[in-house]
Amino acid sequence: MNNQIFESVDHYIGDLLGQEDDALLAATHSLAEAGMPAISVSPNQGKFLQLLAQLCNAKNILELGTLAGYSTIWMARALPKDGKLITVEYDPKHAAVAQNNIKRAGLTSQVEIRTGKAIEILPQLAEAGAGPFDMIFIDADKPPYTEYFQWALRLSRPGTLIVADNVIRDGKVLDENNTEPAVQGARRFNAMLGANAAVSATILQMVGVKEYDGMALAIVK
């Protein structure tokens, strides 16, 4: 697929509506400096997540998959002063880089990074009585997305918005014989979502500066 037009239009939209300030630019630069993969959401996707957080008047956000804290910063900026965002990151090096970026963004008091495997932290959060969250963004490893979603439901209330990134995988989810774990995880997640009566959901196809993919949006009934 020729993505040039999607990339150019993404830059056009970003220049108009998704400008990054120094803290966001520094978070992106920190990836290369620390030898981390450039797999953050794009600027326009970050702005989209921020608008979603504002739309649901989020005071309490949960994120799975922090990386350098780029999406974290976009979403946390939608919070009121007494709002809180918990973000879960498996890799301690990523968590340390993110902590620094969050500090630079002036969000230390609102953002808490939990370091560990999401599948272990989620039950801890539930046991500790965390939530219900107003918005939950799932963007960690893809194979257990279905399990992450089940935990997200337990940490939700009616009206909670659950967002899951990377569920279309360049269209590879159409191929039931694809053996990539991330594609299989996304296919399993999408099938579960389609059959889940606890939520009203859709998937938006995403094109732009990143590879062709999709974001699932689900509102808890």
Q: Could you list the residues that contact ligand SAM (CB under 6 A)?
A: 39-41, 64-67, 70-71, 88-91, 94, 117-118, 139-141
Q: Specify which residues 161 forms β-bridges with.
A: 135, 219
SS3 70: helix
Q: Give the CA distances from residue 184 to residues 75, 101, 146, 168, 171, in Å, rounded to whole numbers and listed in that order.
A: 28, 33, 11, 11, 12
If the CB atoms of residues 20 and 141 are measured against ligand SAM, the closer one turns out to be: 141
What b-and-e string marks burial along 17-44, b requiring 16 or more CB atoms within 10 Å of the CB? ebebeebbebbeebbeeeebeeebbbbb
If the CB atoms of residues 73 and 203 are measured against ligand SAM, the closer one turns out to be: 73
Token readout for 89 is: 């990151």
Return d(Cα 29, Cα 33) in angstroms, integer: 6
Token readout for 139 is: 């963007």
Element (H, E) at 84: strand 84-89
If the CB atoms of residues 64 and 193 are measured against ligand SAM, the closer one turns out to be: 64
Token readout for 21 is: 């300030």
Query: What angle separates helix 145-154 from helix 181-194, to the nearest 10 degrees?
Result: 40
State the minimum distance, in angstroms, from the CB of residue 209 to ligand SAM: 13
If the CB atoms of residues 67 and 193 are measured against ligand SAM, the closer one turns out to be: 67
If the CB atoms of residues 33 and 200 are measured against ligand SAM, the closer one turns out to be: 33
DSSP structure class, residue 181 = H
State the minimum distance, in angstroms, from the CB of residue 182 to ligand SAM: 10
If the CB atoms of residues 14 and 65 are measured against ligand SAM, the closer one turns out to be: 65
